[in-house]
Amino acid sequence: MDGVGVEVSKRPHAVCLPFPAQGHTSPMMKLAKLLHHRGFHITFVNSEHNHKRMLKSQGPSPIHISQDFCFEAIPDGLPPTDSDAMQDIPSLCDSTSKTCLGPFRNLLANLSLDKTLPPVTCIVSDGVMSFAIKAGEDLGIPMALFWTASACGFMGYTQYRQLIDKGLTPLRGTCYVT
């Protein structure tokens, strides 16, 4: 049994996967903490770049919330020497969609094999990290997409094509703003 009095194998285990940008990572971390507070074992998956940044910000002590809140990292496919690459959102989107499925699927499989952890019972993925849907399907793990944007931002995502088709975006000048 663990410290909460629930057998390790009986606890739900959520793997949380944010898009590697602050406006996505922070809300996912808040959700992960809420799930953890409700008894979930959490594996929070960062990009290698963000994971290294978190380690640096912690100083000499390792990242640690509790023994049942773990951090893992997968490659994001961006060159490790380019610290500004994380600011190029189109390149980051393209890179994560092309390179993260295999490493994420392998991480899920390894977590499932680790007998010291509860089995993975669900994936909570940022809506932008759609490759996680395929990984969940491949391994038979239930999936939930978490949209970190506001309701207004989400509406923009869903209506973007129609806005272009109607000529409303992109704006052609400052006179369209007022």
Residues with catalytic roles: 24, 126
- Residue keyed to tokens 């991480």: 107
In 10 A of CB 151, how many CB atoms? Answer: 8
**Which conformational region is residue 5 in: left (phi greater than 0), alpha (psi within -120 to 50 degrees), or beta?**
left
Q: Which residue has the tokens 């060159």?
A: 79
Q: Can you tell me the distance from the alpha carbon of 178 to that of 166, in angstroms, rounded to the nearest whole number?
A: 18
